[in-house]
Structure formats: structure tokens, C-alpha cells
Structure 1
Amino acid sequence: MDETRQSPEQILKQIEKEEQSLNRGHLKIFFGYAAGVGKTYAMLKAAHSAKRRGVDVVAGYIEPHARPQTSALVNGLECLPNLVSEYNGITLSEFNLDAALARHPQLILVDELAHTNAPVCRHTKRYQDIEELLNAGIDVYTTVNVQHIESLNDTVASITGIMVHERILDSVFDNAGQVELVDIEPQELIERLQAGKVYNPTQAERAIENFFTVENLTALREIALRRCADRVNLLTEAVRIKSHSDYHTDEHILVCLSSSPSNPKIIRTAARMANAFKGAFTALFVETPDYQVMSEEDVKRLRSNMRLAEQLGAKIETVYGEDVPFQIAEFARLSGVSKIVIGRSAATRRSIFSKPTLTDKLIASTPNLNVHIIPDTEGKSVAYRVKKARKKNEIVFSVSDLLKSVAILILSSCIGMLFRYLGFAEANIITVYVLGVLVTSVVTRHRIYSLISSIVSILVFNFFFTEPHFTLQAYDQGYPVTFLIMFLAALLTSSLAVKLKNHAKQAAQAAYRTKVLFDTNQLLQQAKGKNEIVSATANQLIKLLGKDIVFYLSENETLSEPHIFTVSGDKTDEEITGINEKAVAEWVLKNNKHAGATTETLSSAKCLCLAVRVNSRVYGVVGIYIGNEPLDSFEKSILLSILGECALSLENEKNAREKEEAAILAKNEQLRANLLRAISHDLRTPLTSISGNASNLISNGNSFDEATKNQLYTDIYDDSMWLINLVENLLSVARIEEGRLNLNITEDLVDDVITEALHHVNRKSVEHHITVRHKEDYLLAKMDAKLMVQVIINIVDNAIKYTPKGSNILIKTWKQEDKAVITIADDGDGIPDDMKERVFDMFYSGANKIADSRRSLGMGLSLCRSIVNAHGGKITVSDNTPHGTVFTVTLPAGEVEIHE
């Protein structure tokens, strides 16, 4: 068996991916190692070449250069007007994305891929603008230098001494359709610079001194060449995977996240390793109690580092615990990590008595893993700031905590007095004070109170329970040691209690969030219909986040009316679903990406909008009113899981609805097939009889006597009436199946309906004895008289067809409570018990033979049941005594009004 053969799901995904790539624009990057190598010039020349081939080319944005040769190439190209805005008194000109989308050329030129947009723009970065152009099916030419690639930022900075802030994701570069390296010799670039072809003389002189040295340019050129080679390797691997060659990697790179300013360097190094080893990439953050006292600056930096890791392709994970090395080691063991990348935070030990560093502990905890240590010079200062902030947080005055501490101390002293009165040893009294400190650490919120309680407990014990009493002196030489042990025991137990309390709080928080996820799964499984799925999802998100939620369902690739779920009701619908907020949701629906608050796209919105999606299919958009408070990584992970469950439920609901519609369609098709099959047989006999009798009358009418003619006329009439009744039944069945059976309910006399029906029954009724009996003189029923006439006709015709000549047919009516009852009984052979349940089924005619040799379509009784049920009544069949069949119809009875 061929183990490399793809499954149907893989083939379908590949087909969908290929279809998407066909509809998506192609990106070509003109790549250089420094400014002035000729990237924009090469891009403009390529644009003119494409224009000569008949391509619709537009210059979307060309960075204004003081280079005559480059500026001259702009002539002859259609240029879009720039988006001009004012920011802090400065006039800014930006690429006009909306104008480009409205113009929709085949090819557009957008210079400076790594540029950061002005706040007025939709996206924070220009590469995001280009991504939207590509999704719209527009080809793009753009330019970028090697120092702007995210993973190479630290390497370039170490060479040039300049940290570049405008950067692009490596995935943007790697996923480009084409990358053309624009390369010249470093010495030639310096000569161009000296000739004033790159910068003006003042800038050129400063650049040559600081940046444009032969050594720097040579190193940058080497990095650019290597990066292009890496991209070629990636393309080769992609082709090999696509051709189903054997390819497997067990490498799993884990990078540790922190709020250190040098952590981005560590993340980029890990990302390069993951790309080089073609392995999985995970970023882990261990949340400790110190996280609660981190400064706002450190929290902001940590979130920025998490976002960077996510942009570089890492999967963000969060674990809780105070022992950071143990948590990292356990996660690595359970997740199959092969390499750990961590920063070196004060990695040296000054003496053998120094406390082991985090790096030392991690290496000891993971003897079978490769731990890559990257210099982290800022780690110590960050740890110091956290420690300082924690101490500051501990020294918080709280009246309630102070009163609790004093009350526990007084209670401990009272119990100590009681123990001394009862003659207990001092060790028991010491235990009481240790217990008091432990209780203080549990009931107070800040650790400082348990520390103070430890010290005060020693002083109180010395004052009340040591000789001499009521002084702070002690005669016994062993008391200092007792005090020390008492203090250490109290301090140790209080510290452990505080840690346990923090761990319990973290565990409860994690358990609650996990429970929300599990409950969501169960609720969505029980939900029926879109509205219940939306309601269940939104309520679970409110439980998780405690924030207002707005849910837009997607219908025919447009947003439906929003479903709003608020926590406190203090916000108006306009705040949550205003024009700007809905515009963000529509953008998310169209582009299948996150946008809004705390993102780099339409960040001025108050809501964070996320797509409810399964792969590329978007079933809705969820808006979370978060303002400027970003979600932490664990909350976001649970949030995405809930939205994933919601999307699967909506997909299952859609599939079930389509399956039901397909079943109905199949049933209707089967009905049509049965009708055509039945009609093809059943219409042939009466039509042949009518045409034959008519032909005989036309050809031999004069040779027939009057009796023969009358018989022929009667046969033609009977056959015609049979066809008319058949057509009426067919039309009624069609209306019922299409849901177009409109009832005209009135209160009519049952006697009149039966009389009208008997006027239209089969002419063979003269061969039977039909009797009508009414127990009520005036019996009214709520019904559509025309349809009920058809019901009576069908039942009586059925009795005439299936009973021998001379049989009796008895129709009786009476009122039973609030129902009008009609029975039609015959004394024929009856219906076997095994057929009674099927006589009302469509196209069922039983095994009876019909005397006139016409087959029955088996629609009459089925039609009767549909009509009676539509009236809110009931039709049943039973045996007659001593033999025969009884059909019973019940309808809602009407009230007889008596006028005096």
C-alpha cells in the first residue's frame, strides 16, 4: 500500500488552496542590502516592461527620491493621489489603499514595504495594506532592505549599531511570489553615494562615516544573499512536500517569554532556529505571582514580546506556577520539545553559596534537552524592578488587614494565658503564636502583615510569658535561640501559606477558564439553530472575559443584524455597534483576520473583532468591547478555542440544514418520479378509452343504436370525470407539498357539504346503496367547505371502487363534545389489519383489484389525511360490523346561533 497517498481531506484542502492562490494577487519584492542599490529604479523599469506587454500598471506610492534617473521613470505611469493627513502639525502623505482598491489595476507599485503608516490609515503597517491588495487579486511590486526583516533585526543592529524600528514579518518575505535581489558591489555603492546619487552631500558624508563603510556593506550584502538562499531552500522544501516526498521533523523549538527588553532578540533567534530546523515553534510564558505586581511598562513590553512571537509563527502558551524552571521543564517534557531557547539572566554564580540561577535550574531539570542560552543583559534589571515593585506592593496599609492581625494576636495571647494558667509548657504557647501567624497570613491580603505578626508575636511572648514577666528582658540564656526558632517557624509557615493561597488563586482561575471552555462545548452540542448557538457562545464569552459582546452572523457574505450581549448595560448600542465598529466587523468578514482595538488594523475602534471561522469559511464576526485593555495570552487562547467550537457548531448546523433540504429535495424528486410513473400508467387506459369511443362515434355513429351510443357517451363521461378527479387530486397534492394549501375556514353545515359531495361522486354510485343519517338537525363544523367536499368525494369513491355492486354505504354525522364527527361505512370485504396503517400513505393502493380495470394512484386517502390534519382534525380507519370498513373524520365543531 502506498503510505504517501493523500487522504480525500488533504486533496480537498490542496484544491481549495490552489483555487485561493489563483484568485490572489502575486507579490514581487525588489530586495537590497542597503539604500541606494537601485531597488526602486529596478521596480520602475520592470513596471514599464510590464506596461509594454499590455498590463494595466498603476504607481500607487513611490517614495520621493532626489535621484533624477529614478524620478524620470515615474513619468509615463498612472499615479494614484496620495492620502494627505495632518499629524502633530506635520503634513503626511501616505499610500491611499481605498483608492487603489477602487481603481483595481492588474499591477500596482507600492514602494517601502516596511513603512509604518500614519494613524489616519486603516493599517499600522504598509505590508498589511499590500496584503489586502493581494487578497483583492491585485499584483504588487514593492521594495525592502535586509535590515527591515524581523528575524534579522538584531543581527543587522549588531553590525551597524543602529536599531531599525520599521520591520516586516519573515512570512511576508518568504511567501512572496518572487524576490529579485538588486545587488551591486559595496565599493560601487560608496562611489554612488560620494557622487550624490543617493543622498545630498551633507547626508552622504554622515552616512559614509557611520553606516556606509565597506565592512558594514559587505556584511549586510552577505546577510542578504544568505536570506535569499534560505528562501530558495524553503521553496525547495515546499515543492518536495507537495510532491509527497518523505519528509518529517521531530524538532520542536520552545522559546521562553519575559518582559525583558532583550527578549525580542531571543524570540528572533528561536524563530530563525525553527525555520532552519523546519520544526514547530512554541513561545511559553510562565505566569508567577510577580505578574500581579509588574509595572505597566513591563506588562506592555511582555505583551509586545508575545505579539512578536505570534507574528514570527509561534504558538503562544501560558502556564502558572512559582517555580519557573520546573514549569518550563514539565511543559517541554509533555509537549515533546527538543530545544529550549532562553535568555541568560545573571547566569553566573558569585560563590558556591549563591542561589542557583534560573538557567542553572533549567539545565538541571532538563538533562535530555538542548538548552540554547542567549545573552540577556537586561534580565537582572527587570528582575530587580519586579522585586522592588513586589516589595512596594506588600507595604500597603489596609484597615481590615490590620484589625484582623491585631484580633488574631490578641486571641493568641488570650489562649496563651489560658495555657499558662492550666500549666501547659511554653512550647505549647509558642505553637499557638505560630498558628496565629499562619492564620494571619491566610486571612490577610498582603504578606507584610504576616511578617510583622511574626515579629510582634515574639515580642508579646517575651513580654507576657518569659521571666521577668511584663518586660522585654529574658533571664534564661536559651530564650534567644527559642525566639529565633519561633520567628523562623512563624515566618516559614506564613510564607508557605501565602504561596499556597496564590497557587490556589491561580489554579482556581485556570480551572474556571477551562470549565468555561468545557461548558461551551456541551452547550453548543445542545444548541438548536443559529440563534441558540450565538447566545450560548456570547454568554460563555461574557463569563470568561466579563466584557460586552456583539455577534454578527454571516449571511451570503454580508453581516446580519448584530446580536448584542451586555454585562452591565451601561453602554449604548451605538457605542458597541456604531458605524466605525460595524466597518471593522465588515473588514474582518471580508479578510478573515482580526482587527480593531489592540491590533494593528483599524486600531481606533473600541471593539476587538475576531472571525468565527473554519479554515477559510467565515460564519460570523464577534466584537469584544475591550477599549485599550488587551487580553492576556491565556484568555485569548481560551477565546479562540470557544470561537473555534462556535464555528464548528455553525458549520454542523449549516450541514444539517443542507442535508435536510437535500432530503426534502430528494423526497420531492421521488414524489415527482412516482407521479410521473403512476400517471404514465393510469392515464393511458381512460385516455385510450375516451379516444377509442370518440373514434367509434365519429366513424360508425350512424350504425349504432341509441342504447349503444348512450353507453359510449356514458363511458366517455365516466372516464373524463375520473381524469378530472385525478387532476384535482394532483393539484391539491402539489399545493400541499409546496406549502401553498391556504385554508378558507368558515362555519358550514356538514349536511350541505355531504350533499354537494354526493353530486360529484363516481357515476357507479347508482350501483350501490348510499344512505345519509344526521343525528343533529343543524351540525356546523369549522372547515374549508370546498376542500372537505373533496375529502368526502375521495372516501366515497374509494368505497365504490373497492366494494362489489349492491353494497351499502352509510354516511353518519353527529356532534361529540366540541367535535363534529363524520363516518363513512361500507359492508365490503374490509381492509386487513396489516394494511390499515398504510392506507393513508402516498401511492399505496393495496392488493385490491378494481372492477373498471383502472389502477388507483393511491393519492386519494393520503390527500384526505393532509386536508383533515390541516384543519386540526383527525381521520382514522376501522372495521365495520359484521364486515366492511369505516372511515371516521373529526373536525372542530361550530356553534349554532338561535335567533328569537
Structure 2
Amino acid sequence: MRLDDQPAAAKGRGKLSIFIGYAPGVGKTSAMLSAAQEEHKDGIDVVAGFVDAHSRPDTTALVEGLEQLTPRILSGQGSPVHEFDLDRALSRGPEILLLDDLAHSNAAGCRHKKRYLDVEELLRAGIDVYTTLNVQQIESLADIVAAITGFPVQERIPDSVFDSADQVKLVDIEPDDLIDRLNKGKIYPDIEAQRAAEVLFTREKLTALREIALRSTASQLNRIAIQISEQASRNEYDTKDHILVCLSSAESNKKVIRTAARMAEAFHGRFTALFVETPETMALSAKNKEELRSNLRLAEQLGAQIATVYGEDIPAQIAEYVKTSQVSKIVLGRSPNKKRGFAKASVVDKLTALVPGVETYIIPYQQPAGSGKLSRHSKPLRLSPADLGKTAVIIAGCTLIGLDFQYLEVKEANIITVYILGVLLNAMITKGRLYSVVSSLLSVLVFNYFFTKPYYSLRVYDSGYPVTFLVMLAASFLTSTLTMRVRDQARQSAQKAYRTEVLLETSRNLQQAQDFQAIVGETARQMVKLLDRTVIFYTASDVGLSKPMIYLKNDLSSLPDIYIDENERAVADWVYTNNKRAGATTDTFFGARCLYHAVRGGETVFAVAGVVMEQEEPLDVFEKSLLIAMLGECALALEKDRLNEKQQEISMQIRQEQLRANLLRGISHDLRTPLTSITGNAGILIGNSGVLSDEQKTSLYTDIYDDSMWLINLVENLLSISRIENDSIHLNLQAELVDEVISEALLHLNRNREKHIIETDVEDELLMARMDPRLIIQVLINLVDNAITYTQVGSRIRISARREGRWVNIEVADDGPGITDDTKTRLFEMFYTANNIRGDGRRGLGLGLSLCKSIVNAHGGTINVRDQVPRGAVFYFTLQAAEVNVYE
């Protein structure tokens, strides 16, 4: 079962060519090999995957020259079985692969149950496939072929496989020539096989099969033409017929489904299969449940959309669905057996009365000879001691009450009412109709024994008593039946309400989930709640599936490793790669212990969900529908989460582009003034050095120096901002004297500091803080330079530091014009300049204060601004205090 690594196909989906015939021996394999030889001569890479030459020399000769894949040998019953090796073919990856007998059933141990599923995987891998098929092996034609030949064909393919073929080539031969080939031993060399085939090889049967083959091939060509026409005119979809077939657990339902599928194909309409789940559905036998699942799979294979509704009144439920879904044609089955067909005839009659305007087609079915009736009960009848005890207690209680009534001389009619009430109570608290029947009969007998003359005897003297007994028995039966029906309906309604609540809760919780893992976890927990089974999730990433996440059902404490071993992981990997379901109860990896579904949005698989199925009954129709709906909700939530992540990435990129644009715009604007000044002053010095006085030269040199220092400070700020934004700055935290750091910062102020009064006030010369001194010096320089730049000449600037608990508070205060309240809220944003023009006529980039905030926050402190009283502003920031070690 292990799935080997497969190379990804570099091309798109492959093409399927089917060589079809109306009977064995018409030359399908020879025609396929001849076409392959022509392609091989043209240089096409052709490989024979599995070709059965049937020991015919002329067919064997056509295989020569073609590369042949070694078949896979599996241990069968008694002798080894040779099967097509799918993994070897995928690894080889030819342009064209030859694969005989499309409808072949693979042996146990293969990945797929059917060969057409192997072909589907080959096509998805981009490999063209040539294959052969008999017309009898098309699913929707099985009943017609069985009527012609007298026996059904066991190996069949869904119509969708045949319909999706890119090319269908009819291999034809006259029936007389085919019979002549059979008689000469060219078809079946084995004499016994030839004698068995003579039942089919009659002129009448072959002619009928040939007509079906011609019709099917023409229909396939017509279908392609209609598809092209529909693509050109999309409005035709609104006028299509809607065909509805009703599913049941009857064997005859397969014929009804195939008939409805042929009608949908003939009318080119939508095809829906409806199952009405009733209270009796749970009481079906294991055989009936398996038959129902088989009919469901057949409808899916034939292209039907599965729908499920709840209700006890089957015709009413069907009619309601017909009205809401705009069904134009209904296909039902009916057996000619009157005893078995009474209920079905009633359904047909009621349905035609409820929807008289919809065409209803009745498909008759004759029960094959020797086939027994289908059992409606899943288990043989067993008596429950607990329910028998409850019945006995209730009858005894009613008898005691009746004796009291008799003692009080209450009329017998009231005693009868007590027993009817007991039957009603018994139907409510016991399980099964048997106990209601027993309760009804015992009530009549006990009433006769205790309350009719002669007392304590089952004999009666009054001629009216038998009528009383019959009325009492009928009333007991009716009340018990109605009570059980109401109870079943209540249980069914509660189950439906519970499942609906689970779906609504799932939708609500998925909307509230914040990330990928939360969505997956919530979905898995809701699946466990819905199915009462253990669920395994594999999430998808760029490197494949993650480790399994296990969500146990309530009565389990752990899950054996066999459910998450390499074989099970291989199935999950296949589902992820192929975007298909697989595992238990499917035709792919059918030996797996879990059922795996892809959680997908379109062609993208977000995760793979596994449901533990071993030793558990298969999912019923409604559970399966709810599971698919729940996984669809999960896929939508995961797709929304992924779109949100992409949107956030795009928003981040937009913000980065805006920052880059603002930076470039600001730099180009602010660099123009100092660079123009530098080049102009340098040009004056170069051209007029002999004319200028020393005082004029000194002034020009000073301007050049000031502009150069301004550019240096700008570049330093830009470099610091880029390092902090890229997280490439590393803090070298150590205990430093605050007074020394302030003094060092004052040495690097710009030349205009001499025009202002700068004071320092540190409450303790030994005041220390944990900092990266290089970065904090830059913070102080930016704050003081900011105060120098935006305050009047002669302003007083005061730098102070004091300890407040475990923090050191450093302030830079000025007595300038101050800062407005609107400006304070955005003052530390990058590129924000409050439309202020600096004192030197330059417009700042708005990087200095943003850089200060980034550095202080990196130290774990805070920075802010407040008003100075009576005028001015105070910038303050905090750093963690450090203790002085007096022994150093």
C-alpha cells in the first residue's frame, strides 16, 4: 500500500482514447496496438503498460518493438496474480501508455479496486492512455445488455469515464465474420471457454449489441458537439431538464438509477438522486444498508448530485424537494409483486397527486427467481428483561388501580381507560413494538380475569364483553402505535436538530477562529461531535503534509499506531497529491483503516481529514453529506485565512513602498538645499579666492561645514532607522553613569549651541542606568539639536536626570514656542514634521524623534513630550536604573 514518490507532471492532463467494440474478439486490442505502432514510428514515447494478447499470435506480434512494463505480481487464491504496476508507470512517465481492459477489477493489494481509477490517475499525471472496452461494460447499459444476453456483466465502468474520453474509436466487424472467427478458435483457444462464449455469439444477440455500440459511439460524438454549442451559448443552461431519481435499499433501485442516468444524458439535463431518511431507516438490516450504500455509489458514478431529506411521509418530502428544486422529471421504481409493491404503489399515487404538473416515469422490476425478500430489521427479535419488567410493573399497577376503582364501585369503563393509559405509558418507556403488543394483549386478558364476571376466570357470561375486549384491544393497539410513532419522530427531530446545531456551531466557531491551527482544531472537534468517531488531520505546507493531529472520540484515551503508520500516511499523501478521497469504504486504498477527504478550495488542498472507520459502520447518506458540508466550511475558512495573510503581506508591502517613496521624496527635497549651498560656496571660493577677504572666506567655510554636518547627521539617522527596522541592531547593555553620557552628548552638538543657554542637572553624580551608551548619546543629541533648531536664539535648554524607583527619568526642557496638542499625538511617527520650517530654513525629514522612540523602546523604556510651564516643551524618556558597585 506504500505510495512511492512520484515526479510532478510538467504538462497538463493527459488524453484518453478508448477502442470500443460490441463483443470480445472484434479486434480492439489489435486496433489499439496498430495505432500505437504508428505513433511509435513517428518518434512518440509509447509504452505497453498491460496488454493481454489472449495467446493470439497476430496480437502478440503487434506488441514487438514496444517497451513493456513488468507487471506487478500479487499473491492470489492458489496462484500468483499479474496486475498493472501503476507506480512503475507513473515513475516511467511515457507520452502514451497502453492499458488493456478498462473495466478490469484489480486484485486485492492494488491501490484502486478498478482499472479505470488507475487510468484516471495516469491522466492527471499528464500521460495519454490508449485502452479497450466492450459496450456491455458501460454502467447505464447494464440492464439493456442483460436483457439481450440473458446474464449481467460484472465488470463495468461509470458512464462519466466513457463520456470524458477525448477520442472513441469503434472497432467493428460483421457478426457473421465474428462467429466464423469463434468457430476457427481465433478468439478463445480454450475449448471450454469457447463453448461458454457460444451462448453470447448468436447472430441476433451480436446484431443487437452492435447496434448499441454504434449508438453509443454516435452519442459520444454528439455530446462533444453539444458541449461546444453550450460553450458558445451559455443561456441554454437555464432551460435544461432536471431529472430526479429516488434512492432506496431495494435491489431494483439500480435499474431505476441507470434509467434515470440515460434520461439525463438524453435530455442533457441535471441529474439528482434523492434519499428520504425515515425512522425505519435505522432498522434496516446490514444487507439492506449495504445495498443502499451500493445504490448511492452507483448514482454518484453516473454523475448524480446526492441530496438527503428527513421525514416520515415519503411522497410529501419528495414533492417538497421537487417544488423547491424545480425538478422537471421524476423516475421511480415499482415491483409487479402486489404484496411487496403495495407501499410503493401508494408512494407513486400520492406523489403524482401532490405534483401533477411534473412528469413521473415508473420503471417496473421483476424480482429474480430465488431471491428472497429484504429484511427490514437489522437484528433478530430479542426480548429485553428490563423492558419486560417495565411492562409487568405497568400492568400490575393498572390492576391495583382497577381493584381500588372496583372497591369504590367505579364503572368498568373507567377501569378500561386506566389500562389504555398503561399501554400508552408502556409505549413511551419501552423500546420496540413487541412490548406494546404484549401490553395490549395482557391488558385485555387481565381485565377479563379480574374485572368481568365470573371473576378470576377468563370466561365471560355477558354477550357484550367480546365487543368490549375487541374495542379495548384496538384502542390499545392504536394508542401504542401512535405513541411509538410520535416517539420515533421526536427522536428523529432531535437527531436532525442536533446535527443542524453542530453545523451552525461549526460555522459560527470557524468565523471566530483566528488562525490556521484554530480553524483545523475546531473543525476536527465538530467532526468528532457529529460522527462520534476519532478524527485525524494532516495540514498541508510547502513541503507536504504535517505530522498527524489526533482528535479522539470521548470513550478513547489513546489511538493505536496502526492508524497513523506509514501505510495510512501514504493514503493521506495520495489524497493530498490527487485532490481525491480515498481509504476505507472507497475504491482507492480500500484496505486502509481510515476514510480520507481533502479539505480543498478549488484545486488547492489545505489539509487532509481522516475518519477512523475500522470496526465502525460506514457513514450513512446524511452523515456523509454533513461531513462534506463541514469540510467545505473548513476549506472556506482556511481560504479566507490565507487570503487575509496575503492581504496583510500586500498591505505591509504597500506601507514599505510608501515609506520608501516618502524617504526618497524627503531626501531629494532636503538634500537639495545643503548641496546647493555647498556647491555654491565652493564655487565662490574656487573662482574668487584672491578677491575674498579672510572674514568672507571663514564665513563660506563655516556654511560649508554646517551643511556637511547636517548631511552627516541625516545619514546617521537614516542608517540607524534602517538597522532598527531590519532588527539588525544589537544592544550592548551595561551600567553607565548618566552624567558622563550627557556630557559626551553635549560635545557632539551642532555649532549653533553657542547661541543658546544649555544647562545640566543630575541629582546624583553616581546615578547609573542600563543602556547602550552609543545609542543613548544619539538620542540626547537628537533631542537637544531639536530644541536648538526650533527655539529662538538665546533660549534656555535644560537637561536633567533623576531616579524614580527602579527607573531613571531623563528630561530635555526648553522655553521655546512649545508644541500644539494635535502635533503631540503624531510627533514620534516616522516622516512626520508638523509642517514646521526649521530655524535654518531647512525642512526636516521627521526621522530624529522616530529614531529616539525606537532606541528607547528597544531599551525597554518609554519616551513622550509634555508642556513646559509657563512656556516651552519637555521631552522625557526612561531607562532602567542600575546599582553602583562601591568595591570596583
Q: What range is the shorter-chain TM-score in?
A: over 0.9
Distance 2:886 2:560 in 1: 58
- Equivalent residue, structure 2, for 1:526: 512
- Equivalent residue, structure 1, for 2:437: 451
Does 2:625 align with 1:614?
no
Does 2:813 align with 1:825?
yes
- Equivalent residue, structure 2, for 1:66: 55
Does 2:843 align with 1:859?
no
Distance 1:555 1:88 in 2: 42
Match of 2:137 among 143, 148, 151: 148
Taking structure 2 as the reference length, what is the TM-score of the superposition?
0.94
Distance 2:550 2:727 in 1: 34
* Structure 2 residue runs without a partner (length 5+): 1-8
Match of 1:767 among 755, 762, 766: 755
Distance 1:197 1:169 in 2: 30
Cα deviation for residue 253 of structure 1 reads 1.6
Distance 1:324 1:380 in 2: 29
> Structure 1 pair 279/557, CA: closer, same or farther in 2 (3 Å)?
farther
Match of 2:473 among 487, 495, 510: 487
Cα deviation for residue 99 of structure 1 reads 1.0
- Equivalent residue, structure 1, for 2:865: 877
Q: Residue 16 of structure 2 contacts residue 128 of structure 2 at CA under 8 Å; is this kept in 1?
A: yes
**Which amino acid is the alignment partner of residue 474 of structure 1?**
V
- Equivalent residue, structure 2, for 1:334: 324
Distance 2:471 2:166 in 1: 72
Does 2:249 align with 1:263?
no
Distance 1:890 1:537 in 2: 48
Match of 1:659 among 641, 644, 647: 647
Cα deviation for residue 722 of structure 1 reads 2.0
Q: Residue 347 of structure 1 contacts residue 357 of structure 1 at CA under 8 Å; is this kept in 2?
A: no
Q: Deviations over 1:737-785 (max 9, x none)?
A: 3344443443433323322222222221122111111224433334333
Alignment of 1:499-578 (within 5 A): 499-556=485-542, 558-567=544-553, 568-572=555-559, 574-578=561-565
Does 2:84 align with 1:95?
yes
Does 2:301 align with 1:303?
no
Q: Residue 169 of structure 1 contacts residue 311 of structure 1 at CA under 8 Å; is this kept in 2?
A: yes
Q: Deviations over 1:236-271 (max 9, x none)?
A: 221112113531334222212222222211111111
| DSSP 3-state at the match of 1:254 | strand
Cα deviation for residue 464 of structure 1 reads 1.9
Distance 2:258 2:483 in 1: 40
Q: Residue 107 of structure 1 contacts residue 138 of structure 1 at CA under 8 Å; is this kept in 2?
A: yes
Cα deviation for residue 702 of structure 1 reads 6.7
Distance 1:86 1:647 in 2: 41
| DSSP 3-state at the match of 1:322 | coil
Distance 2:55 2:302 in 1: 35
More moved, 711-720 vs 629-638: 711-720
Distance 1:381 1:782 in 2: 96
| DSSP 3-state at the match of 1:683 | helix
- Equivalent residue, structure 2, for 1:157: 146
Does 2:282 align with 1:292?
yes
> Structure 1 pair 449/792, CA: closer, same or farther in 2 (3 Å)?
same
- Equivalent residue, structure 2, for 1:589: 576
Distance 1:558 1:21 in 2: 18
**Which amino acid is the alignment partner of residue 218 of structure 1?**
T
Q: Residue 345 of structure 1 contacts residue 380 of structure 1 at CA under 8 Å; is this kept in 2?
A: no
Alignment of 1:28-39 (within 5 A): 28-39=17-28
Q: Residue 783 of structure 1 contacts residue 871 of structure 1 at CA under 8 Å; is this kept in 2?
A: yes
Q: Residue 59 of structure 1 contacts residue 109 of structure 1 at CA under 8 Å; is this kept in 2?
A: yes
**Which amino acid is the alignment partner of residue 588 of structure 1?**
V
Distance 2:873 2:797 in 1: 10
Match of 2:587 among 600, 608, 612: 600
Distance 1:886 1:193 in 2: 109
> Structure 1 pair 606/571, CA: closer, same or farther in 2 (3 Å)?
farther
Distance 1:803 1:859 in 2: 19
Distance 1:848 1:357 in 2: 90
Match of 1:834 among 818, 822, 833: 822
Distance 2:515 2:416 in 1: 66
Q: Deviations over 1:143-165 (max 9, x none)?
A: 11101111111111111112111
More moved, 576-585 vs 850-859: 850-859
More moved, 808-817 vs 264-273: 808-817
- Equivalent residue, structure 2, for 1:12: none
Does 2:217 align with 1:228?
yes
Alignment of 1:413-432 (within 5 A): 413-432=399-418
Distance 1:746 1:649 in 2: 49
> Structure 1 pair 400/828, CA: closer, same or farther in 2 (3 Å)?
same
Q: Deviations over 1:158-192 (max 9, x none)?
A: 11112111111111111111111111221222222
Q: Residue 818 of structure 2 contacts residue 867 of structure 2 at CA under 8 Å; is this kept in 1?
A: yes
> Structure 1 pair 28/737, CA: closer, same or farther in 2 (3 Å)?
same
- Equivalent residue, structure 2, for 1:182: 171
| DSSP 3-state at the match of 1:681 | helix
Q: Deviations over 1:261-294 (max 9, x none)?
A: 2221111111111111222212122233333332
Q: Deviations over 1:180-209 (max 9, x none)?
A: 111122122222222332222625752563
- Equivalent residue, structure 1, for 2:100: 111
Cα deviation for residue 226 of structure 1 reads 1.0
Q: Deviations over 1:570-626 (max 9, x none)?
A: 544632321111111111111110011111111111111100011211111111111
Cα deviation for residue 111 of structure 1 reads 1.1
Match of 2:707 among 692, 706, 719: 719
Distance 1:133 1:616 in 2: 18
**Which amino acid is the alignment partner of residue 254 of structure 1?**
L
- Equivalent residue, structure 1, for 2:667: 679
Cα deviation for residue 669 of structure 1 reads 0.7
Distance 2:32 2:268 in 1: 32
More moved, 881-890 vs 524-533: 881-890
More moved, 661-670 vs 596-605: 596-605
Q: Residue 552 of structure 2 contacts residue 559 of structure 2 at CA under 8 Å; is this kept in 1?
A: no
Cα deviation for residue 705 of structure 1 reads 5.5
Identity %: 53
| DSSP 3-state at the match of 1:809 | strand
> Structure 1 pair 766/402, CA: closer, same or farther in 2 (3 Å)?
same
More moved, 212-221 vs 752-761: 752-761
Q: Residue 345 of structure 1 contacts residue 359 of structure 1 at CA under 8 Å; is this kept in 2?
A: no
- Equivalent residue, structure 2, for 1:57: 46
Taking structure 1 as the reference length, what is the TM-score of the superposition?
0.93
Distance 2:250 2:103 in 1: 25
Does 2:192 align with 1:206?
no
Does 2:64 align with 1:78?
no
Number of corresponding residues = 877
Distance 1:620 1:374 in 2: 43
> Structure 1 pair 134/364, CA: closer, same or farther in 2 (3 Å)?
same
Cα deviation for residue 894 of structure 1 reads 3.5
Cα deviation for residue 895 of structure 1 reads 4.2
Does 2:854 align with 1:891?
no
| DSSP 3-state at the match of 2:198 | helix
Distance 1:135 1:676 in 2: 50
Distance 1:201 1:644 in 2: 54
Distance 1:443 1:687 in 2: 98
Distance 2:610 2:604 in 1: 18
- Equivalent residue, structure 2, for 1:789: 777
More moved, 825-834 vs 326-335: 326-335
Distance 1:439 1:753 in 2: 92
Distance 1:761 1:21 in 2: 65
Does 2:312 align with 1:322?
yes
> Structure 1 pair 400/380, CA: closer, same or farther in 2 (3 Å)?
farther
- Equivalent residue, structure 1, for 2:742: 754
More moved, 796-805 vs 739-748: 739-748
- Equivalent residue, structure 2, for 1:14: none
Distance 2:820 2:368 in 1: 91
Q: Residue 256 of structure 2 contacts residue 363 of structure 2 at CA under 8 Å; is this kept in 1?
A: yes
Cα deviation for residue 685 of structure 1 reads 2.9
- Equivalent residue, structure 2, for 1:168: 157
